Structures are given as structure tokens and as C-alpha cells.
Structure 1
Amino acid sequence: MSTATSRRSRKALIGVALVGASALALVGCSGGSGGGSAPSSFEFLKNSENTTTEPVLNVLADGECKAENEKLPLEISSQPQADLDSQVQLLASQGGLPPMFSAGGNPAEGAKLADADVLVDFDKALTDLGVRDKIAPGAVSTIEKLYGGGFDFLPFQYNIEGIWYNTKIFSDNGWEVPTTWDELLDVAAKAKAAGYTPFSASGEQGWPITRLISTYLFRELGPDAMQKIADGDAKLTDPEYVKAAAAIADLGAKGYFGDNVASLDIDGSYNLFLTGKSPMIYMGSWILGNINGADNQVGAENMSFFPFPAVEGGAGSIDQYPANVGLPATFSKAAYSDDVASWLGCIATNYGTEALKQGQITGFVADPSASADLPEISQKVQETIADSTDSVLWFEALFPAKASQISSTSAALLVTGQMSPEEFMSTVQDAIDNP
């Protein structure tokens, strides 16, 4: 168990009575493996903002999972995301968690539930069901990094991040896809000279810029670069961390983000890329909806992506994609009956394929034939996810809320020269130390 996990466990057991002591005390009084009566329905409590999971489950309930649905009918209920954490904590304290429910908005909330031992261990459960191989290894890696080291959540969404680029602009100008940081800088310089904004990024949001800092860190220092910050084994003010902030600040100093990066919102950054004014944008695979949408003036056929390049001499690998699992779902240990287990097996086997038919990319392994009708760029992302075995997180993933907010709001100041790399990293580190 890592230092961060140990510290998180102590905090959960001492400071979070609802999910710690109460849930542990009551877990044996509810249904399923906890010793009480088995659930009468396969209830899924989700956040109401999630509109993608329910359609897939409904199709499965009428099709591949019809037998499971007849024994234990699917029942979906919703709560606004703002209320979900407190609702889940309340149900945990009462021993009344439903068979399946969405995780909280902050990974730390999900980790508290895992520490309280109220969740199904999917590594064991899926192995017992013979379907452990139906979850993409890269998705499992992401979940383990986000939620304290265990495989306690399911990747109903899965996004990888990288640099999306305009293949036509690259081809017309004879630019090769960069595989190293120096090659990326060379392409950026040529793009600016040709009249383009080399990188489209939203300084108004901030996180598209800090994502570049952390990915540079992962490439140079290795995949545990940000875990060391969370564990207290390193500081953002250490020279090797400041170097990463300086590398991204230098992109701004050279004008590679354009003149209006500080005020550019996320839609504006998408527009800059989708109208061909910028040849590159760092973003997650959720941008596929925009790339495949009607507002893409360049055309999806003229777009692709490549991983954040290697830093020469670095300890990280170009194959370690920054990734997230959106808002995953999990199963209640207390409500885990034989019929719930059957649902889990059916979901693991079929969810990825049905979701892909509906244009969704998840962390479940899908039948390759399901991607036949997808745009080529979506197929490429799906294949990359299927082949990925490891992942890294992002700059703010393990930060407390205060540090996360300060990081995002200060990012534009970094790339516009209003804050030095040392000042930026010091400000964020102070917020980590004093949450």
C-alpha cells in the first residue's frame, strides 16, 4: 500500500463517519453477501447529467442481458451530480447502497468508499465470473491510480489524451508527426511561421495548459511523477518540476498559443482547431464528438492524433497515455447477490460492444466488428485503448480542491508571462500544503 493510500485510509476511517465507521458497522445488515435479503431489482443510481449509460443498459436489458433482467429487473434512478456524493454517503451509513451506483465527482470520495470496504472487488468478482479479460488493462490501470490502488470501479467511460492534429496541414507543409519534444517544438515553430496558431488551448479553463505540464513531467520523470507530489516525496518547487512548467511557459513566450489564450474558452479553442486556424490541440478523446460533428469545417477525415512526445533521456514512455474514466460506476458489496453477479458478468461481456455501436468509447473490451461503421479516427482511438496496458493521470488528479482551482486559474498567467514558472509551482504547492 502506498503512502498516499495509507494516509487516505486513515483519513477515511477517522474523519468520515458516514462512509467509514457507520458503513463498516452496517455493511453486514444489508442484502447480498452482507448476509441480509438479496435485492429485488438491479437498481442503478446514477448522476442525472450522465445520459450515455442508461441507453446502453436498456438495450442490454432487452437483448443480451434479457435473462438477467427477467430475474432481477433493471431499475434506474437519478440524482443531480451536486447531490450524489451526500446521497451515496447517506445510503452507505444506512447499509442501503443499491447494487450499482455512480461514483462521486471527486475520486477521493470514491476512495473513501473503497477504504470503508463497502464495494465489490472487481478483480476477484470478474475473475470468478471468467470475464476479467473484458476490461481493458489501460482502463484498470487508470482506476487503480485514481481510487487508491484497487479495482473497485467500472469504466463505463474511458478517455485517453493526446495531441489531435490536422493531417492536411501537416501533409501540405511536409511536417512529420513528432515523436520527441524537440521535434514538436520544430513543428510548432514552422506552424507559427506559416501563419497558424500552433497549439489551440483554453487559458480561460486553464486545465488544457496544466495537462501539458503534467504530461511533460510524466515523460521526463516517469509515471509516478505526480504520485510523488501526493505522497509528499517531492515538491512542485523542486527544480525538475519547475523545469516542466518552464517548458510550457516557453511555448507561450514564443507565441505558440496565440495572442488571446488567456480569454479563449473551451468552445473557442475547439473552433480554432475545427476551422483549420490551428493545426494542433491537446485534448481527451471526448473531442471526438466535435470532430465527428457538423461544426467541423476541416472534416474528420483530415484529423488524427498522436501521443504526447518523448522527452529525450526521460524515464517515461510515449505509450503511457494520460487517461480518465469520466464518472465510473461501482457495485455495493452488501447488495452483491448471485443475480447481481450475473448482471455484472453480462455487462462486462456486452457493454463495450453495445456502447461502441452507439458511438461511445468505454474501458470495456468491444467486439472489433462493432467499430466497422465508426469514422476512421474513432476506430483509431478504440484500437489504441484496446492495445494500451498502462496509463498516467493529469496534473490536478490527486490535488485537494483548493490546489486544483488555483492551478487552473493560474495557468494562463504562466503562459502569458505574468507569473514565472517558479511562482506558479510555488503557488500551487502552497495550496497543496495548506488545503
Structure 2
Amino acid sequence: MIKGLKMLLVLTLGFTLVLAGCSGTGSKSDPKPSNGESTNNGGKETPGTDKVEPFTVSLRHIQIGDAQKFRKALLNDVVKKTEDEIKGLKFELDAVEDQVNRYTKLPAEMAAGNPPVIFDLFGGMGDAQKYAKAGRLLELTPILEELGIKDKFLNLGQFMVGDKIYGLPIGGNNEGIFYNKKLFAEHGIAAPTTLEELEAAAAKLKEAGVTPFAMGSQAGWIPNMLVNTLIGRYAGPDLVERVSDGSLKFNSPDIVAAYSKYEEWVKAGYFTKGELGLSYDQMLNEFLNSKAGMMFDGSWRSSAFKNEELAKNITSEDVAYIPFPAVPGGKGDQTYVNGNYGNGYGFSATLDDNELKAVKAFIKNMYNDEMQLRGLLEDGVLPAMKLSADAMGKVEDPVVKQVLDVAAASGGAFSHFEISIPSKVYTETEIQLQAIIAGQATAQQAGDAIQKILDAEAGK
């Protein structure tokens, strides 16, 4: 799926998906969001017309806190424009933390058959594809055809079952290393281009009393980003396909090598002390306050460096972004990056006429050239849709430019392994990685434990 999509993140890609299908709508009770964030300019009467009956549509999002303020502002604009277009409509916004939504609230709502009308959704086998097969997601192909945007998306694969679409990515990303240029210059460190140079830089920072890599591993997905890239280096960029078909096992030498490298860095003290008690935001703060020289993270973090409320001691001019280097003995093209179009919005399968009208308007207003370009310029989110070279040329942020350069120089992109494994198996990868960090498991023991769960799930 990924290997053939050379340069997914080179945003002039002419990738086209041929999609077909149809959808239907049913009816359901008016959803009641759990969090009372709302907007209200619906229910108005127009002189000389019949009274408009107000109605509400629930919208679950994960744009919480200062680090997400630019993305939340874009969502607010889409909400307002949609409410202005649809008479009587009022969105009720439900702000839920990412992991709570993904692993607690949404699974429970899907099991009960009462998800919000619109909600944040991850792609892949563990989320969108699973819910689509269970009949919980609205099939979007005919809506995209009606709106004339079906062929504008760069990669919808993680939201598809067969040739039908069940969700839309809000943008793309790749993952790499942010580093503090001032700290590197102060300690005479050049931008590393090999694994040996990267480890030498980490050792020099540690010797100087600077944490080499900011890390907050309270949530296992955070260190898992780096492990996923290490697996892509040691096992090759076709890791998703091979994990999916069973030819690459988590206790294989290649994946164990990736866990072993992470374990080696833990023992060397290259990560934040006490990382298991630190959150994602605390990891960012350590980097922003120059307590750590590097941070492995997604390209979406570029927006933090122009956020004046967060970046008081560092700016975009002080930060550089580079890909994770090749590893000795690694398989396949070592220039590939970990890149994804895996997070976006899904829609309930059971909608009444008003809700369907609101969903269509929301998609039209969220997924267009203007909003995709704003997402790139204002929030550093790589577009999920094809944009012109002229539009891409409007990027001025130095870190975002480097993100695009990394994508352009790569041989292509591989995705997170989580899109090809059941949620229970992915949870085990987090548990085992945290056990490695705590010194309670070796790389081999972690790989064996994960594969055991994967085998059990495959046998069901």
C-alpha cells in the first residue's frame, strides 16, 4: 500500500484514487455531547419566510490547549461558516483529549451505536477501517463526487475499505528530529547526517549537562513514534505490508534491533530523566526552554515555535528539522520518512436529513484549497489535498520549509505500523516500550510479548 506511493509527502504528487460506491442515511436520536462547548447563530427567522426549526449537530474534536490553538481557530471558522449557510444549525462542540477520544470514548460510542455526528477519527485497521466494517461510519464516496473533490486527496488509503471512503484526513505529516541550533552551536555540534554523528551529538550534549532528547513517555504513543521510525530503518520501508501479511514479526531480528537501539539510548541517558511521568506537552516545554538539544516529533509541532505563548525562549529561527539518519545494516531505501495521512474526521452512519445537510456543508468548508493552505501556513500541517506550486510557494516559516525539504529529498514514505494491527496489539506495543524504559523488559522480551498478542488476535 505504501511502497508504491513514492513521495506521498511531495505535495505536487499526481496521485489519483479511483473510487466508487454509494451511501444511505437513516435516522437517529439527537446526540447529546458530553462537553458543553458550543456556538450559536442558528435558529434565526428571516423576515417574510416560514419559521426555521433549530437543530443541533454534535462535533467531537481534539484541539485542546495552546499547542493546538491555530488548528482550533481553523475549526472555529469552518463551524461558523457552516452555521451561517445552514439555517437553524447549531454545532455543539465536544473537546476531548486525543487518547481519551481514541481509546475510551469513541470505542464505547461505536459499540453502543451512538457516536457524535462528526468526530475526530484515526485511519487504519484499528480505527476507521474497523468501524466502517461494523457499519458505524458514513460512506463518503458519493458526497465527495457531488462536491467535486473526490480526486483531490493525496492519499485516502487509511480511510478506505475496498473502493469506498469512510473518513477524510485533515492533513499530512512526517516525523523527524527538531534540534536547537543555538545549543548545537554553543557546543560545537554540526547537524548530524549519520547515526554515528547523531549518537556523538547526544553524548556531547549529555556530557555538557543538556538532555540530548526531550521525551515524555507517560503516553506510550510518544516514544513509539521514534521506535516506528527505527523499525522503518532496520526492517525497511515496506514494514506495514510485511506486518500486515505476517512476514515481519515483532520478535524478528529486524524489529528487535529497533527496540534494542531504543533500549541502548535509554541506558545511555539520552532521554529526559523521569520520562515515564512526563506528558507530551511537558516534553515540548523541555525543548522550548532549551533544556534538551533535540526532540523527535511530528512535523505538526512546527507551529509551536511561532506560538508566542509557548515559545518565549526559542523561535522558528532557532530550530532546525532533519530526517532520522540511515542505520548501518538497515534494509531498503534509508531516505524514506515516516509519513502519514492518518488523522482526520469521520461521520456517523445514521443521519437524519438535517444532519446530512450539515455534514455535506462541513466537508465542503473544511476540505478546500483555502483551508488546506491555511492549515499549512498557520499550523504547519501538510495538506491532505493537492495544492498548486504557487500556493506551496507562499510558505515562509523556516521550519515548515525544512519539513517540505525533508519530504522532497526522501525516497517516499512509510506509515505507522499501527494501521495494520488490531488496537489490542498496538496497546501492547506501548506497554512493552514503557517496560523497556522502566528497565522491566529487554528488547527481545518486548518483541516476544507483542508477537504473542498479535498471534492470538490473528487466530480469533
Structure 2 length-normalised TM: 0.67
Contact 1:163 1:280 in 2 (8 A): yes
The reply on whether 1:433 has 2:455 as its aligned counterpart is yes
* 2:249 corresponds to which of 229, 232, 235: 235
* 2:345 corresponds to which of 328, 351, 354: 328
* 2:77 corresponds to which of 56, 61, 75: 56
Q: Deviations over 1:207-236 (max 9, x none)?
A: 332322221111232233144234333321
**In the alignment, residue 297 of structure 2 is paired with which amino acid?**
M
The reply on whether 1:244 has 2:262 as its aligned counterpart is no
Relative distance call for 1:29 and 1:198 in structure 2 (3 A) is: closer
Displacement of 1:282 after TM fit?
0.9
SS across alignment from 1:186: helix
The reply on whether 1:199 has 2:188 as its aligned counterpart is no
**In the alignment, residue 60 of structure 2 is paired with which amino acid?**
N
* 1:315 corresponds to which of 332, 356, 370: 332
Contact 1:60 1:351 in 2 (8 A): no
* 1:422 corresponds to which of 424, 440, 444: 444
* 2:321 corresponds to which of 305, 318, 325: 305
- Counterpart in 2 of 1:295? 310
Distance across 2 between alignment mates of 1:325 and 1:212: 17
Q: Deviations over 1:222-268 (max 9, x none)?
A: 23314423433332111122111111111122221254334443333
Distance across 1 between alignment mates of 2:228 and 2:450: 13
Relative distance call for 1:254 and 1:386 in structure 2 (3 A) is: closer
Relative distance call for 1:188 and 1:342 in structure 2 (3 A) is: same
The reply on whether 1:184 has 2:229 as its aligned counterpart is no
Displacement of 1:432 after TM fit?
2.4
Distance across 2 between alignment mates of 1:213 and 1:149: 30
Unaligned regions of 5+ residues in structure 2, if any?
Answer: 3-20, 28-52, 65-71
Aligned pairs for 1:12-411 within 5 A: 30=26, 45-50=58-63, 52=72, 54-58=75-79, 60-61=81-82, 69=85, 76-78=91-93, 81=101, 83-85=105-107, 87=109, 102-103=120-121, 108-115=126-133, 119-120=138-139, 122=141, 126=144, 131-132=149-150, 134-135=152-153, 137=154, 140=155, 143-145=156-158, 151-293=165-307, 294-296=309-311, 297-312=313-328, 313-323=330-340, 325-329=342-346, 344=363, 347-356=367-376, 359=379, 361=381, 362-365=383-386, 375-378=397-400, 380-381=402-403, 390-411=412-433
Q: Percent identity?
A: 23
Contact 2:57 2:89 in 1 (8 A): yes
Q: Deviations over 1:166-188 (max 9, x none)?
A: 12222344433233323322322
Relative distance call for 1:116 and 1:258 in structure 2 (3 A) is: closer
Relative distance call for 1:181 and 1:344 in structure 2 (3 A) is: same
Distance across 1 between alignment mates of 2:449 and 2:235: 21
- Counterpart in 2 of 1:413? 435
Relative distance call for 1:219 and 1:48 in structure 2 (3 A) is: closer
SS across alignment from 1:185: helix
SS across alignment from 1:201: coil
State the Cα RMSD in Å. Answer: 4.4
Distance across 2 between alignment mates of 1:106 and 1:77: 27
Contact 2:335 2:412 in 1 (8 A): no
Unaligned regions of 5+ residues in structure 1, if any?
Answer: 3-23, 32-39
Relative distance call for 1:355 and 1:43 in structure 2 (3 A) is: farther
SS across alignment from 2:251: coil
Relative distance call for 1:49 and 1:239 in structure 2 (3 A) is: closer
Contact 1:208 1:282 in 2 (8 A): no
Displacement of 1:374 after TM fit?
6.5
Contact 2:172 2:339 in 1 (8 A): no
Query: Which stretch of the first structure deviates more once superposed, 243-252 or 82-91?
Result: 82-91
Relative distance call for 1:402 and 1:116 in structure 2 (3 A) is: closer
Relative distance call for 1:298 and 1:91 in structure 2 (3 A) is: same
Contact 2:122 2:343 in 1 (8 A): no
Contact 2:301 2:380 in 1 (8 A): no
Q: Deviations over 1:36-76 (max 9, x none)?
A: xxxx99986421545736413135448xxx8xx36x88653
Distance across 2 between alignment mates of 1:189 and 1:320: 24
Q: Deviations over 1:153-209 (max 9, x none)?
A: 212244432111112222344433233323322322232233322112123333332
Distance across 1 between alignment mates of 2:310 and 2:357: 47
Distance across 2 between alignment mates of 1:359 and 1:405: 29
Displacement of 1:303 after TM fit?
0.9
Distance across 2 between alignment mates of 1:366 and 1:181: 34
- Counterpart in 1 of 2:35? none
Relative distance call for 1:354 and 1:366 in structure 2 (3 A) is: farther
Relative distance call for 1:246 and 1:84 in structure 2 (3 A) is: closer
